[in-house]
Amino acid sequence: MPSCVRFFQAKFGVLAVVIAAMLASTSLLGETQAAAANVPAPGEDIVLHGVITAEKLGKHEMLPFTVPAGIERMTVELISPGFQKGMYLTAGLFDPQRYRGEGRSVFTVSTVDATGPYLPGPIVPGTWRLAIGYNFVAANAKGEFTVKIHLSKQLDLEHYKVIRSKAGWYKGDLHSHTGLTDAMCKSQSGADVPCPPSKLFEAAAKQKLDFLAVTDHNTAATFNEIMQAQLYYDQMLLIGGEEITTVKGHANVWGTEGFLDYRVAESGFTANDLFDQAHKLHALVSINHSYWPYDGRCPGCGWGWEQTDFSKLDAIEIINGYHEHGSWFTPPPGNGVPFWEQQLARGLRPTGVGGGDEHRAGEQLALHDGVGIPTTVVYARELSQPAILEGIKAGHVFVQVTGPDGTPLYLSAGSAIMGDAIVAEAGKRVWFKMTTQEFGQAKLRLLVDGIAVNDLPAVQQSTAAEVNCLYDWLSDGKRHWVRAELDSADGDPITLTNPIYVNWGQ
């Protein structure tokens, strides 16, 4: 199983290159003559030390260091006594060709993204320089500073922010767009213009989503926007992704900033190669709105690559946006369940997910292509990017078609929850438990291999907070998938769970 969990141990060990004292021979305005010493040994961070004295006030000290080839990301930390102790320093960054920015004491820079004031761009090999600015040194103040420079051969972050540290069910949207590609909204004067990413983030926050994956078409440009916005949205996880958009199908990729080739053809670079390249980068892949046409009615929208190896898929978008009866592409009412069930019937286990496919930053809420409509609810060990992707890969997911305020539906069998596999030999009884809320005229269904059981008990264990329905199922020892669904009186899905897989190892 391709892991969606990144390995966080630093590729470069704890620092060992300590270059102290050398700065004693450094000119305050020029560069140290000891540049050759600031070359990291393989696997080591670069560490620079310096002395702060009042005489240095207002000056900039240029500290060179060598960046080898093959580096994708640089993370710098300047540790100094600080303003409170009368010593405030700044860190400017110059690569071998250009100035990259100044203004933070802890920052990261990569090809794709960079902390606030710093410019993203290639980490070119050669001599880089850090400009230590002595912005404030009080009279008679004296101290030391340390700079740690961590060089990573991995473009993706090694450490992801944890928004919430407790395990639970988290609500989000896995498919959305900004005006960096084709999301449009009204300008101040009412013109249709590319919609700034901030409008999307704000719309998602208004929906009280726990996470939002931003999946612009064939570009990593969104990642830098996310890096800046995540500081403000400290209760909503922003996940960078791309919707790989080909002439015969769209697929979301979540979990890497690396280059993803979109130039799929029947021969040459195939859809299977597309999936493989995403997995090599530890990302997850999901086919979007597979059931749409891909001809002139909606060029490229549906999935039409004939040689697709569906076993390479991690997920399938079973609900895209919200489509009423009689609207475009219905029936079925805007859902990709049959396509998903075809894969389940073949013994595959792609996780069914939803995607709002937001293109209007919430202007059309509700119920068309709204951010969070549908809402994908994921059980994760914490609210962080690796944990959410882990939960999706595990199938610990249900989809609320009408959005974050929709009706939840949990499926379990003993300690197994949706997405898990159980073993039940022939003749064994399994209790499947569906837990939801009061659902009025809606219909609760339990489906075995896609077919609703016709003897679901009317007797339910209810409390004010939840409604439970238990179904006593007799195993025949064969392979099955069992999922639950809450449907409206008209038969449209309201909430869908992922299956519990029975005897799947056989």
Non-local (6+) Cβ contacts of 50 within 8 A are: 23, 61, 63, 132, 144, 145, 147
In the complex with Zn ion, the residue whose CB is nearer, 18 or 184, is 184
Dist CA 193 CA 240 (whole Å): 23
Contact call for residue 243 and Zn ion (CB under 5 A): yes
CB of 177 to Zn ion, least distance (A): 6
In the complex with Zn ion, the residue whose CB is nearer, 207 or 497, is 207
Non-local (6+) Cβ contacts of 342 within 8 A are: none
CB of 173 to Zn ion, least distance (A): 11
| Residue list 49-88, contact with Zn ion (CB under 5 A) | none
> Applying CB under 5 A, which part among 38-46, 190-198, 242-250, 427-435 lies near Zn ion?
242-250
Non-local (6+) Cβ contacts of 483 within 8 A are: 411, 418, 446, 447, 496, 497, 498, 499, 500
Number of residues that bind Zn ion (CB under 5 A): 2
HSE-up (13 A, CA, CB side) for residue 482: 31
In the complex with Zn ion, the residue whose CB is nearer, 249 or 352, is 249
In the complex with Zn ion, the residue whose CB is nearer, 243 or 257, is 243
Q: Which residue is nearest to Zn ion (CB)?
A: 357
CB of 174 to Zn ion, least distance (A): 10
Q: Look-up: residue for tokens 């013109």? A: 191
CB 494 within 8 A of CB 486: yes
Residue span 202-241 as binding mask against Zn ion, x where in contact by CB under 5 A, dash where not: ----------------------------------------
| Residue list 483-502, contact with Zn ion (CB under 5 A) | none
Dist CA 75 CA 105 (whole Å): 10
Alpha-carbon Rg for the chain in angstroms: 27
> Applying CB under 5 A, which part among 126-134, 273-281, 308-316, 355-363 lies near Zn ion?
355-363
Of the candidates 441, 370, 369, 373, the one whose C-alpha atom is nearest the C-alpha of residue 406 is: 373
Contact call for residue 173 and Zn ion (CB under 5 A): no
C-beta neighbour count of 96 within 10 angstroms: 11
In the complex with Zn ion, the residue whose CB is nearer, 357 or 492, is 357
In the complex with Zn ion, the residue whose CB is nearer, 210 or 357, is 357
Contact call for residue 357 and Zn ion (CB under 5 A): yes
In the complex with Zn ion, the residue whose CB is nearer, 372 or 419, is 372
Concatenating the DSSP letter of every residue in 11-40 gives SSEEEEEEE-SGGGG--SSSB-TTGGG--P
CB of 53 to Zn ion, least distance (A): 57
Strand-strand pairing, 461-462 and 409-413 = unpaired
CB of 4 to Zn ion, least distance (A): 21
Contact call for residue 382 and Zn ion (CB under 5 A): no
> Applying CB under 5 A, which part among 41-49, 352-360, 416-424, 457-465 lies near Zn ion?
352-360
Q: Is the peptide bond before 367 cis (omega within 30 degrees of 0)?
A: yes
Dist CA 245 CA 261 (whole Å): 10
CB of 357 to Zn ion, least distance (A): 4
Q: Which phi-psi region, left, alpha or beta, contains residue 341 (left: φ > 0; alpha: ψ -120 to 50)?
A: alpha
CB of 99 to Zn ion, least distance (A): 37
> Applying CB under 5 A, which part among 231-239, 275-283, 301-309, 351-359 lies near Zn ion?
351-359
Please give the residue ranges that form the binding site for Zn ion (CB under 5 A): 243, 357
